[in-house]
């Protein structure tokens, strides 16, 4: 077999486009040539990896679609909303209770009051800022 | 490539947000088919971005069960594209039409935020004569 014919058959078999006769021709030729058999095995292994790549992509996108499910998204937004509301109430209570406590020193009451005021001013500031710029943020559409 | 395969790789690559104009950004030190007629110098772009606290909470819960943390995949992708755009903008503003040896690096400034720095050498390229 000429080197050109061998290369042609090797590529066809590795790409799984060889007919039965071509496959038989190649296998007969390499039967007693361990180095050529090894070369074919390497090509087939590479092919298996690249074939797997495409099916992994399919699975990846299927997972993406599952994550975009409206019910799942609504559920996670609801959960996050509840959690944040609870944390906000706890934070505010943590500040307000010492302020309202008649036994607390004045310095603690003033400090807590100023901190709570600052917290809300900064919170409103960053939320306002983000709401203004969010729609124009061109990177919102980037997914990966 | 069949239509199905084409659609699949297009969706997976998220090409809609990749610019195909502006300075040519290459990671190589030269541009085959072009010659460098002028070296302008270092150009860079950086950003630090974060997702909102709700996404951070969901991401934290994802670590309990494993798998991809898509909230942070998106965060890193947004940061990468923004820093690349800023690098391109600096190159363009300085009269370059190419960036060679482009690199990206990252560092941790604060938890839950992504900093990406993109940098490279701005050059003026012309098609090489054959």
DSSP string, B3-30: HHHHHHHHHHHTGGGS--SSSEE-SSSS
Q: Which residues neighbour A76 within 8 Å (Cβ) at sequence distance 6 or greater?
A: B58
Q: Which of A84, A143, A144 sits opposite B53 (nearest CB)?
A: A84
In chain B the domains, ranked by start, together with CATH numbers, are: 23-127 (3.30.110.70)
Distance CA A49, CA B19 (A): 30
Q: How far away is chain B from the Cα of A142, in angstroms, using its nearest Cα? A: 6
Across residues A13-30, what is the average pLDDT?
A: 88
Give the model's confidence band at A44: pLDDT under 50 very low, under 70 low, under 90 confident, else very high. Answer: confident
Across residues A114-119, what is the average pLDDT?
A: 92
Q: Which residues neighbour B54 within 8 Å (Cβ) at sequence distance 6 or greater?
A: A77, A80, A81, A84
Interface ipTM above 0.95: no
Q: Hey, which of A1-10, A37-46, A109-118 has the most confident mean pLDDT? A: A109-118
Distance CA B43, CA B118 (A): 8
Q: How far away is chain B from the Cα of A122, in angstroms, using its nearest Cα? A: 15
Cβ contact, residue pair A143, B8, below 8 Å: no
Name residues 91-130 of chain B within 8 A of A (Cβ). Answer: none
Whether the pLDDT of residue B111 is over 80: the answer is yes
Q: Across the strands, what pairs with B49?
A: B114
**Could you report the per-residue pLDDT of B64-83, keeping only the tens digit for each?**
999 889 899 999 999 999 99
Cβ contact, residue pair A84, B49, below 8 Å: no
Whether the pLDDT of residue A50 is over 80: the answer is no
Run of H or E including A80: helix A70-100
Distance CA B108, CA B83 (A): 15
Distance CA B84, CA B117 (A): 8
Beta strand residue intervals within chain B, DSSP E? 24-25, 34-50, 98-107, 113-127
Give the model's confidence band at B2: pLDDT under 50 very low, under 70 low, under 90 confident, else very high. Answer: low
B16 has a chain A CB within 8 A of its CB: yes
Q: Across the strands, what pairs with A19?
A: none
* Sheet-wide strand order for B34-50: B24-25, B98-107, B113-127, B34-50
Q: Which of A61, A130, A141 sits opposite B11 (nearest CB)?
A: A61
Tokens of A123: 């919170």
Show which residues on chain A lie within 8 Å of chain B, measured between beta carbons. 54, 57-58, 60-61, 63-64, 67, 76-77, 80-81, 83-84, 130, 139-144
pLDDT, residue B130, reads 65
Distance CA A64, CA B80 (A): 20
Tokens of A106: 């004045």
Which of helix, strand or coil describes residue B112?
A: coil
Distance CA B5, CA A58 (A): 9
Cβ contact, residue pair B78, A142, below 8 Å: yes
pTM here?
Answer: 0.75
Cβ contact, residue pair A61, B9, below 8 Å: no
């Amino acid at each position: 077999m000429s080197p050109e014919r061998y290369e042609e058959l090797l590529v066809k078999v590795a790409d799984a486009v060889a007919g039965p006769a071509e496959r038989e021709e190649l296998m007969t030729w390499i039967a007693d040539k361990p180095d050529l058999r090894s070369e074919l095995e390497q090509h087939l292994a590479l092919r298996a990896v690249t074939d797997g790549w495409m099916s992994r992509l399919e699975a990846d996108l299927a997972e993406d679609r599952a994550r975009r499910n409206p019910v799942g998204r609504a559920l996670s937004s609801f959960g996050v909303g509840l959690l944040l509301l609870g944390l906000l109430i706890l934070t505010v209570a943590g500040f307000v209770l010492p302020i309202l406590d008649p036994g607390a020193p004045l310095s603690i009451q003033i400090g807590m009051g100023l901190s709570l005021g600052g917290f809300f001013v900064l919170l409103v500031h960053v939320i306002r800022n983000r709401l203004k710029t969010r729609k124009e943020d061109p990177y919102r559409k980037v997914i990966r | 490539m069949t239509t199905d395969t084409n659609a699949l790789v297009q969706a997976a690559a998220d090409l809609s947000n990749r610019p195909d104009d502006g300075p040519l950004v290459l990671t190589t030190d030269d541009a085959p088919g072009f010659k460098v007629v002028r070296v302008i110098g270092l150009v860079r772009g950086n950003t630090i971005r974060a997702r909102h606290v709700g996404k951070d909470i969901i991401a934290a819960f994802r670590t309990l069960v494993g798998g991809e943390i898509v909230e942070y995949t998106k965060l890193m992708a947004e940061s990468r594209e923004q820093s690349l755009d800023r690098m391109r903008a600096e190159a363009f503003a300085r009269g370059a039409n190419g960036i060679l040896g482009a690199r990206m690096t990252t560092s941790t400034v604060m938890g839950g935020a992504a900093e990406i720095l993109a940098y490279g050498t701005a050059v003026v390229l012309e098609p090489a004569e054959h």
